[in-house]
Amino acid sequence: MASPVNIIVGSHVWVEDSVLAWIDGEVTRIDGQNVHVQTTIGKKVIVNISKIYPKDTEAPPGGVDDMTKLSYLHEPGVLQNLATRYELNEIYTYTGNILIAVNPFQRLPHLYDTHMMEQYKGAALGELSPHVFAIADVAYRAMLNEGKSNAILVSGESGAGKTETTKMLMRYLAHLGGRSGVEGRTVEQQVLESNPVLEAFGNAKTVRNNNSSRFGKFVEIQFDKHGRISGAAIRTYLLERSRVCQISFPERNYHCFYLLCAAPPEEREKYKLGKPESFHYLNQSSCYQLDGVDDSEEYLATRRAMDVVGISDEEQESIFRVVAAILHLGNIEFAKGEEIDSSMIKDEKSRFHMNTAAELLKCDSKSLEDALIKRVMVTPEEVITRTLDPEGALGSRDALAKTVYSRLFDWIVEKINISIGQDPNSKARIGVLDIYGFESFKHNSFEQFCINFTNEKLQQHFNQHVFKMEQEEYEKEKIEWSYIEFVDNQDVLDLIEKKPGGIIALLDEACMFPKSTHETFAQKLYQTFVKNKRFIKPKLSRTNFTICHYAGEVTYMADLFLDKNKDYVVAEHQDLLTDSKCPFVANLFPPLPEESSKSSKFSSIGTRFKQQLQSLMEILSSTEPHYIRCVKPNNVLKPAIFENVNVIQQLRCGGVLEAIRISCAGYPTRRTFDEFLLRFGVLAPEALDGIPDDKVACQMILSKMGLKGYQLGRNKVFLRAGQMAELDARRTEILGNAAKTIQRQVRTYIAWKEFFSLRQAAVQLQSCWRAIYACKLYEELRREAASLKIQKNYRCHIAQKSYLSVKSSSVLVQTGMRAMSARNEFRFRKQTKAATKIQAQWRSYKEFSYYRRLQKAALNTQCGWRRRVARRELRKLKMAARETGALKEAKDKLEKKVEELTWRLQFEKRLRTELEETKAQEIGKLQEALHSMQLQIEDANARVLKEREAARKAIEEAPPVIKETPIMVQDTAKIDALTLEVESLRASLLSESEAAENARKACADADARNTELSKKLEETEVKVGQLQETIQRLEEKLSNSESENQVLRQQSLTMPPTGKAIPARPRTTVIQRTPEKAIILNGETKPTPDMAITPLIAKEPEPEEKAQKSLNDKQQENQDLLIQCISQDLGFSGGKPVAAYIIYKCLLHWRSFEVERTSVFDRVIGAISSSIEGADNNDILGYWLCNTSTLLMLLQHTLKASGAANLTPQRRRSSSTSLFGRMSQGLRTSPQSAVLPFLNSRMLGRLDDLRQVEAKYPALLFKQQLTAFLEKIYGMIRDNLKKEISPLLGLCIQAPRTSRSSLVKGRSHANTGAQQALIAHWQSIVKSLDVYMKIMKANYVPSFLIRKVFSQVFSFINVQLLNSLLLRRECCSFSNGEYVKAGLAELEQWCCYATEEYIGSAWDELKHIRQAVGFLVIHQKPKKTLSEITDELCPVLSIQQLYRISTMYWDDKYGTHSVSSNVISRMRSMMTDDANNAISSSFLLDDDSSIPFSVDDLSKSMQMVEVAHIEPPPLIRENSGFVFLHQRSD
């Protein structure tokens, strides 16, 4: 990071700040080497010119995804870029091939879902946005292609997100090469399930992190030769053993101790545990609880995790017994013994803890005491036993605790590895290293020394890798380069690990001398390294020392170095625990060889640490490394907080700034020729005109500027440090002069515009004054005319008002009189109507009451009778339901009963019809007789009246008689005769009246019987429905069609059809099933003689069997011929697929749909399967897609499920009751019998008539298999089209580079040929779509299926284009939006050409990419509000997608900005609310590959299906078995 040399007044620079690390400002004055800077926060500072760095004012507002693309690669530029991207939730950034991951401290699930994994699968590094998946994919591809193991090194300080990053790496690797593990768990799942266990026993609270890993973890994922995961192993390094015995505030010991102290009461009672404050190993720090963590719940979670990884309950109990024993060991205290330099147990409390520890470890208490305070020394002469002093006993106690815990941790790791499973034969591996980062606290001890030593080693490996990558970049670009000098940290490593003379060697030496102290050790260090520039002695301390690490100076306190480094392998401890009665403890301490168990040997933790580190470095050196540097943005562990000082320190500790320094030592600024010309073309415009070679143009610009030391590679310009600033200064000067010219012209224009506006204002003022004067004159004239008009109108108004008043009075009087008369008339009519209505209501109520009484009585009678009949039927049904042993026989009986009831129903209908006709005839006769009688009575009455009148006249005309005269006998006899005749007439009238009354009663009885028969008819129909429902239930019990259909449908695509013919069913006797041996002909029931219907059983079995066999052979030959025929391409006839109609007619003619067993369906399916198997020819697929869809529609309209349950009431009433109908129904179980041709010719009629048949199970299964093949063929065509256009879509999302002339002039003036070249890829896609359209049209594929194909393909285009746009920043540019918009216009033009019949709504599927592209090319984005964007511009796009596009947008054509910061902040807040409400935050779209239609949808779209006449193909045209194909419909 060289100091700038081209700083001028007005330059934007970075200056160092104690609070913000770096702050930007503008140079206001330069005094020699001092620069006056006005910062953006309002401060004025004066700094030396060597301590400021230039700021790139043209940096993208969203930062760059690779910091090697920064114009100024220095510390403040890197920090600003990370802060900018972090604000936009872009947590990943590249530095070359190094990934920097900033912990967001919030959930970002959209970054890690399966869709995101698929996007990065196979993508080159840098092609998509930075991501941890990209690093994992590069490692995986390198392993497959080169056959070399790879390693991913994840580093960072506590809380930086190393563990989460490791989880994401393993998830992605498992996604690429996953395999199912034990019990259905993948290797990645098993590794992740082990994390809670390892965290409980290997993590602890430190100063900066509540869950800091105190060990290094190297997860080795093993792969087989096919790239599939074959195993995994977890290797741990450098466990911090000293933490078991020594901790300091505010840290804690390992989590497992606190979890066990928070266990349930019965567990604590079993292990005799109390609160953490009561144990010495825990109360050295007053921190016992973690914020937001419940140790009791964590204990249960740890136990569950141990169950998951395969640790049994007995082993878990043993593990926690050992943990409890360690706690009790820490509470054992020692006092001085009776002898000199001896010790003993201090008090009863200590003895209680010792006895408890012995009990938990299942060893002898006395032996434990001796092992702690005694040592056995073996000499050639004798064995000497000596007692340790209290200090030595404490050291022995702590050594035992550390050894036991270390062995326990190693056992847990080994157990987890056994559970996961390793592949010893694996040749390729990918390792993921998760290890603690550089640590520098206020007080640093031995632990920080070891950790920083590890990071020094890893930093050396990292520097070598970065240097190697730098040299490879130079070689790739073919530039001249010499060895780049960079500061190596080998001198620090020598200071620490050199043997002899290193710090670790001196520490081991001091530990081996009993009299050594930390002061003597420190003095030894001061004397040894007095001249070492990496070692510093503090002035005010006698025991501290400082080491200059690569990340800065760290001061260590040597007070506890000796105690923490000692790790004796005590023979007494080994023997004690080896002899433990607990198998688990004894297994932790296997017996040692005899020579190593005689005495205690000193073991240094530092030396072991160095050996493990060397082993780790050997593994890393044998692999290809990839680096991920995790950064913690703040110490409060909250989102959206970026602390510059904290981050810059981590960048130093992580070696990122060291890598930048290495880059700055060479050529820190690298630009492609296009980018260089785009930025600096204004320095030499003549270089852009007429020079086709970009490299020559760049050379001319650099030569004109007089720069030296730069290099021109094959594709890039390499600039030395400071040269970019010099070019920018020259560019700023040229742009400043251009700006002055523009300002001059603008000021001239403004002055000219102001003059013209003043002149125009004067003219307008004069015009206004003249207009005002004319208006005043006009106003006076107008007032005079108005006054005359007002007077005239006022007089007119007075006269009119008087007239109207008189008129209204007269009208009012007339209205009142007429209204009074009308009210009187209305009142009279209303009273009359009310009286009439009351009379009518009373008569109606009287008659209605009588009718209701009669109706109620009739209903009661009917309900009683129906209840009785229903109970009788219920008892019968219950009895029938109990007979579960004979379901088939019950079904047959029920079918017979249905037929009988159907017959009875029809018979009762016929009787009812005849009864109604008879009743009508009788009523007519009675009415005629009554009419004739009435006429006779009237005639007799007339004659009687005439006779009486004649008699009266005769008496009046007779002369008066003085004396009595005898009456004439003749007159008396005549009167008597007339009287008798009158009486007889009266008698006949009475008899006729009685006859009429009887006829009325008979009619009423007939009506009652008719009503009763109607009720019985309804009850019969109800019984029929119940019986049919019973049959349906019995059929459902007999078949498990739901499960079998699904299984057979799936197997139909995978199992080849059997070639064996299914044997025909046994012959059955056809017996006419009629009630009481009667048949119904023409509505009459006639008895049937015994010989009327004969069984179809031959008297001679052998000839019949031969005939049946011959018939079967003939049928088999016909099937073979059909399969051979449809295996050929039969083409189309009149737009109809020949094969589909041939298959349908043959199956219908052979009655294959109605048989229980047949092999023809399997053979047809096999022929279709063999035709499309492995067919890459879309023409064949289109041909069979048309055939299968047509055949499926024919079956859809023809087949109906067998059984009475599926019949409609109309079909039940129209069931075949004729002789031939019953014969055909009886013969359906034997379709290959001898009477089949007779039935076909006499009963089936024309095949051209589309009719429904009852389908058996094989036919329904055939329909399902055909549906599956239709979906399969549809999917193959759709996927073939997707595969063909998928490579083109990758080229269509990013526009090619435009010509240099457009870079200078601001817009493209390319000719027509160049424009055609830009959209060539889109035209290729259109060509592919057109080819598939023509293929499907040529094969007469239904337009419904064509629409579905193109809808899904357009949806695929929409998903691919939008996902690529959202993942690649270079695609979110203005010019790229214009390019994609032009391509979409090509697609729209093709859609219009293809017509809506075949395209449908496919164009609407592109709504996401259309709106996204429209947003890219719209102008004045900063003026758009969020509501305008979401409601008008992009209503379909989600907030996450809009936020992604807005933050990644850059205008490479006009230099405009994206939406305003206010809109961005509102989008971010809405995204946060969605995340809190558990709404999916994924911004990627998902491609739907399901079948978008059902058979019903297809059936509705093809309703006009008819069995057309098709000319048979030549293969079967002359065959006698296919004569039926020649039949034509009339």
The tens digit of pLDDT for each residue in 1316-1333 reads 656 788 888 889 999 988
Q: What is the pLDDT of residue 854?
A: 92
- Cα separations in angstroms, 109 against 106, 134, 234, 1440: 9, 17, 27, 12
Cis-peptide into 625, omega within 30 deg: no
Phi, psi of 569 (to 5 degrees): -95, 90
Most confident among 411-425, 791-805, 1241-1255 (mean pLDDT): 791-805
Q: What is the pLDDT of residue 806?
A: 92
Q: What is the pLDDT of residue 781?
A: 92
* Residue 213 known to be catalytic: yes
CB atoms within 10 A of CB 1145: 21
CB contact set of 295 (below 8 Å; sequence gap of 6+) = 258, 259, 261, 262, 289
pLDDT in tens, 208-241: 778 888 888 888 888 888 888 888 888 887 788 8
Question: Side-chain half-sphere of 175: how many Cα atoms within 13 Å?
Answer: 20
Closest among 1299, 1311, 1298, 1296 to 691, alpha carbons compared: 1299
* Residue 96 known to be catalytic: no
pLDDT at 1084 over 80: no
Q: Among 129, 166, 194, 209, which one carries the catalytic annotation?
A: 209
Q: Is the Cα torsion angle 998, 1001, 1005, 1006 positive or negative in sign?
A: positive
Rounded Cα gap, residues 1148 and 1251, in angstroms: 10
Residue 863: enclosing H or E segment and its boundaries? helix 723-882
Q: Are strands 150-155 and 428-434 parallel, antiparallel or unpaired?
A: parallel
Q: What is the pLDDT of residue 423?
A: 80
pLDDT in tens, 384-412: 777 888 888 888 888 889 889 999 999 99
pLDDT at 669 over 80: no
Q: Among 81, 212, 1159, 1202, which one carries the catalytic annotation?
A: 212
* Residue 209 known to be catalytic: yes
Q: Which amino acid is at 1102?
A: E
* Residue 1131 known to be catalytic: no
Beta bridge partners of 1137: 1132
Q: Is the Cα torsion angle 1241, 1247, 1250, 1254 positive or negative in sign?
A: positive
Tokens describing residue 14? 């970075």
List the single range of 32-41, 119-128, 705-714, 1026-1035 with lowest mean pLDDT: 1026-1035
Averaged over 824-849, what is the pLDDT?
Answer: 93
Q: Among 439, 477, 726, 992, which one carries the catalytic annotation?
A: 439
Closest among 976, 969, 926 to 947, alpha carbons compared: 976
Q: What is the pLDDT of residue 662?
A: 65
Rounded Cα gap, residues 337 and 1076, in angstroms: 120
Closest among 618, 196, 42, 149 to 426, alpha carbons compared: 149
pLDDT at 180 over 50: no
Q: Which residue has the tokens 């501290």?
A: 544
* Residue 1117 known to be catalytic: no
The confidence band for 1207, taking pLDDT boundaries of 50, 70 and 90, is: very low
Q: Among 159, 161, 395, 1400, which one carries the catalytic annotation?
A: 159
Q: Among 150, 158, 302, 1481, which one carries the catalytic annotation?
A: 158
Rounded Cα gap, residues 1255 and 1252, in angstroms: 9
Rounded Cα gap, residues 22 and 1407, in angstroms: 45
Question: Higher confidence at residue 1301 or residue 419?
Answer: 419
Q: Is the Cα torsion angle 866, 871, 875, 878 positive or negative in sign?
A: positive
The confidence band for 802, taking pLDDT boundaries of 50, 70 and 90, is: very high
- Cα separations in angstroms, 223 against 149, 232, 649: 10, 9, 38
CB of 1197 within 8 A of CB of 1250? yes
pLDDT at 1362 over 80: yes
Q: Among 150, 213, 355, 580, which one carries the catalytic annotation?
A: 213
Local structure of 1133: helix, strand or coil: strand
Rounded Cα gap, residues 1159 and 537, in angstroms: 96
Question: Higher confidence at residue 1480 or residue 726?
Answer: 726
List the single range of 480-484, 1302-1306, 1395-1399 with lowest mean pLDDT: 1302-1306
pLDDT at 656 over 50: yes
Q: Within the chain, how many helices (H) and strands (E) appear? A: 49, 30
Q: What is the pLDDT of residue 456?
A: 86
Q: What is the pLDDT of residue 1218?
A: 37
Angle between helices 1343-1367 and 1439-1448 (to 10 degrees): 50
Rounded Cα gap, residues 597 and 141, in angstroms: 50
pLDDT at 55 over 60: yes
Task: Calculate the average pLDDT of the chain.
Answer: 78
Q: Among 62, 156, 437, 1400, which one carries the catalytic annotation?
A: 437
Q: What is the pLDDT of residue 1528?
A: 53
- What is the residue-wise DSSP string for 1253-1275? EEE-HHHHHHHHHHHHHHHHHHH
Q: Among 71, 97, 103, 163, which one carries the catalytic annotation?
A: 163
Spatial strand order of the sheet with 150-155 comes to: 92-95, 98-102, 624-631, 150-155, 428-434, 216-223, 229-237
Averaged over 1371-1381, what is the pLDDT?
Answer: 85
Count, residues in the chain: 1530
Rounded Cα gap, residues 1290 and 1287, in angstroms: 6
The confidence band for 29, taking pLDDT boundaries of 50, 70 and 90, is: confident
Q: What is the pLDDT of residue 945?
A: 84
Q: Which residue has the tokens 């390729």?
A: 428
Q: What is the pLDDT of residue 1206?
A: 41
Rounded Cα gap, residues 1315 and 532, in angstroms: 68
CB contact set of 1248 (below 8 Å; sequence gap of 6+) = 1506, 1507, 1508, 1509, 1527, 1528, 1529
pLDDT at 1493 over 60: yes
